[in-house]
Structure 1
């Protein structure tokens, strides 16, 4: 018989950073993990991925995911490999996307280990990947899908419900009921006016709210991102430049393609070659077709969007793009320049001032994307210093995250003030700015939890 304890919530990640979302609920002697993400960005944060999990994976009864991005799902292969044998609950869209993202993450982990071994740059001999592609494939057997708005039981007397969050395909808010109380996790909250995804579901009645704060200290530009994108492309094409768009393979690539198709239909940009150099983004197209109820696209828009770009699958095809020259547009992952094919394009085209690099969303601290956005002119790529003379533009208007004002507006849909709001998943300045706005504008109790802190769900403070 399991030992009984009052229900608690422990913040195992995303409590002092914008990555590594992990929240452990303990109820009636059972343990449920909400989110199982990778820490990304600064090395001291990435090192947390190598620390043994704070609870034995074998003692965790279930995992619940909000969505497929790696900072929310990317530790699952390691958790399963190290002894977790319970179900991973996700929406159908999230489960499908994880089939793409997790094996690719394992492959990149292996590539990084091989590179570190070749360069003799690791303290481990030989370097060991956090997990392998095979680990990731095995972990997919743990996934169990549940639909939006369909309550399902979890161990510990918990009832869970997925509610639409916008953001990307399959993204959910997680609403939990236990011990007569409701605990609500925003996951990554989308935008009310997102061109691709529908608006997130209203908040309703909750006792404890755990909110993201990615853009907690910022508001998105008021201008039209489609117009801005068109102006950039026209300007760079006139000088025969290459436009490299660093896009997250799931969600952001589709938004960029949608804007490009609309711009071309209006003859608002020159007709230059467009290449979608992201096998994952190519594979995701069928998923958007299968989940039409989650996004705004009509069939003709969907078809036009994917006719815009030439898909690039093989590494050899990708390498040929580096010999082609401009004018052309390359859409490639990763969105924060942490890996992937975009790095080869940066090496080839970054030193030429005729070219341009578009950062299409949030850039976590410690990433190459954040360095470029801050004005850095030299990037370390595959052991070499690459001088960046290309024009760098950060288009925050393309973000799929609700900004500070949008988060506050969404919170106003609550039926009453929560007993406590915990502000997580943001850089410290962003989380603190949102905390202050919540207290000042809504009059709610709000605070930022400490990393590894545990709180009582019966008496949250």
Structure 2
């Protein structure tokens, strides 16, 4: 039997026939199709890629990471970008959008309405763009709701489907005479009760281009983490302890916090009031605005959240505790830090995602040099919003694409992941940054 090959970093690495899937190549007449990863590659970081179908080029997610040089000239695609597609509003996916628009001023830019709103907030908060430049960006981004098809040209169409990563996140389905293509972006098929999760489309794909950030990492079910969070918050509220929830704008812990008021309305959680730091204000309003159209919670009212425009926690009335929501990055700022320290001095608890180290949070909130005074008052939770390794394996087996392109993750983890497939049926590609690969 001939050796099975795995394209890794653009090179063929010989494998034993039973260890790696590589099915027969399907040759299709028509325009050449290729893929260029402009970022990513063996780590979780900036995300950006180009899909080329003949003379048409789709730029997906002009992301930005700290310290990285922006380069949109990967492969041979040159300056001819027809459309830019934004999968969601995290900076590692949209941070270089202003530079990309300047580089390709004639390209059309599409995002879901939710992503557009959140993207403008992120750009306003995290960049030095003027209001005039932000208004230009707002005019440039066209809103496109899930499953509404848009034509790129010459039989090439695309539409967004829910990705389940954050509010408005989208995976992209591209259809063409040369075949169908799925570009997942960051995605999750786990229902979280706030946003619609990713569901594999019922069609054949010539190629699936998938993020693999969590390959080799353990994933904790959202429901299990949320149940633990509710139990601990409920216990603290019963003891009349104030609470801090340290959550990023657009973070999964923010979604979890927004699920608490319905539980209070049903009597499943003690009553307490909420105060929100201004750095989270806009994203909370945007989430709340778009809840009405979400299918995952029919008949449930998510407008129960008490949003305080003042950053100061409300006066405790009738002995009720309160919950202060603040971004972990703002714990270094004098005012939020002072409020959090007051809460912790009063015996309150701080809840945060475990991607922030215990020592980091303690240093930012403690009133002594070592942070030892608050470590025992911090509770951490694992809230994942990326596809798990098990779910990714199921997705590829279910879709059975001719080519599976894997982005992010370590070389060793991805190689091990590919070896878990039982028989040759797909070609797996792990591209180098800037390398153009036919698919």
Q: TM-score, normalised by structure 2?
A: 0.75
RMSD value over aligned CA atoms? Answer: 3.7
Which SS does the other structure have where 2:392 is aligned? Answer: helix
Question: 1:455 maps to which residue?
Answer: 437
**Rg larger for:** 2
Question: 1:332 maps to which residue?
Answer: 326
Question: 1:208 maps to which residue?
Answer: 207
Question: 1:404 maps to which residue?
Answer: 389
Contact between 1:244 and 1:356, CA under 8 Å: does it hold in 2? yes
Displacement, 1:10? 0.9
| Aligned counterparts of 2:224 and 2:429: Cα–Cα separation in 1 | 34
Displacement, 1:33? 0.5
Question: 2:9 maps to which residue?
Answer: none
| Aligned counterparts of 1:345 and 1:330: Cα–Cα separation in 2 | 10
| Aligned counterparts of 1:343 and 1:20: Cα–Cα separation in 2 | 31
In structure 2, which of residues 96, 99, 108 is the aligned counterpart of residue 78 of structure 1? 99
Equivalence map 1:293-372=2 (5 Å): 294-304=294-304, 306=305, 309=306, 311-313=307-309, 317-318=310-311, 320-321=312-313, 327-333=321-327, 337-338=328-329, 345-346=336-337, 348-349=339-340, 352=344, 354-360=347-353, 363=355, 369=356, 371-372=357-358
| Aligned counterparts of 1:273 and 1:100: Cα–Cα separation in 2 | 26
Displacement, 1:185? 0.9
Relative to its length, the structure with more helix (as a share) is 1
Confirm or deny that 1:47 pairs with 2:67.
yes
Contact between 2:246 and 2:351, CA under 8 Å: does it hold in 1? yes
Question: 2:229 maps to which residue?
Answer: 229
Contact between 1:93 and 1:169, CA under 8 Å: does it hold in 2? yes
Displacement, 1:143? 1.3
Contact between 1:57 and 1:84, CA under 8 Å: does it hold in 2? no
Higher RCO structure, 1 or 2 (CA under 8 Å, sep 6+) = 2
Contact between 2:121 and 2:282, CA under 8 Å: does it hold in 1? yes
Question: 1:436 maps to which residue?
Answer: 416
Question: 1:190 maps to which residue?
Answer: 188
| Aligned counterparts of 1:341 and 1:295: Cα–Cα separation in 2 | 38
Question: 1:61 maps to which residue?
Answer: 82
In structure 1, which of residues 1, 5, 12 is the aligned counterpart of residue 38 of structure 2? 12
Displacement, 1:284? 0.8
Equivalence map 1:131-170=2 (5 Å): 131-132=129-130, 134-154=132-152, 158-170=156-168
1:14-40: CA deviation from partner (whole Å, max 9, x where unpaired): 22332321001233344320112222x
| Aligned counterparts of 1:211 and 1:88: Cα–Cα separation in 2 | 21
| Aligned counterparts of 1:258 and 1:360: Cα–Cα separation in 2 | 15
Contact between 2:194 and 2:259, CA under 8 Å: does it hold in 1? no
Displacement, 1:65? 1.6
Question: 2:281 maps to which residue?
Answer: 279
| Aligned counterparts of 1:236 and 1:453: Cα–Cα separation in 2 | 53
Which SS does the other structure have where 1:104 is aligned? Answer: helix
Q: In 2 relative to 1, CA 432–239 (structure 1 residues): closer, same or farther, beyond 3 Å?
A: farther
Contact between 1:219 and 1:405, CA under 8 Å: does it hold in 2? no
Question: 1:261 maps to which residue?
Answer: 261
Question: 1:115 maps to which residue?
Answer: none
Q: In 2 relative to 1, CA 241–445 (structure 1 residues): closer, same or farther, beyond 3 Å?
A: farther
Displacement, 1:241? 4.9
Which SS does the other structure have where 1:100 is aligned? Answer: helix
| Aligned counterparts of 2:401 and 2:73: Cα–Cα separation in 1 | 28
Which SS does the other structure have where 2:391 is aligned? Answer: helix
Deviates more, 1:177-186 or 1:54-63: 54-63
In structure 2, which of residues 27, 46, 50 is the aligned counterpart of residue 24 of structure 1? 50
Question: 2:179 maps to which residue?
Answer: 181
| Aligned counterparts of 2:288 and 2:364: Cα–Cα separation in 1 | 35
In structure 1, which of residues 172, 188, 192 is the aligned counterpart of residue 170 of structure 2? 172
| Aligned counterparts of 1:91 and 1:51: Cα–Cα separation in 2 | 24
| Aligned counterparts of 1:7 and 1:254: Cα–Cα separation in 2 | 40
Mark the runs of 5 or more structure 2 residues left unpaired by the alignment: 1-29
Mark the runs of 5 or more structure 1 residues left unpaired by the alignment: 40-45, 111-130, 364-368
Q: In 2 relative to 1, CA 136–234 (structure 1 residues): closer, same or farther, beyond 3 Å?
A: same
Q: In 2 relative to 1, CA 254–376 (structure 1 residues): closer, same or farther, beyond 3 Å?
A: closer
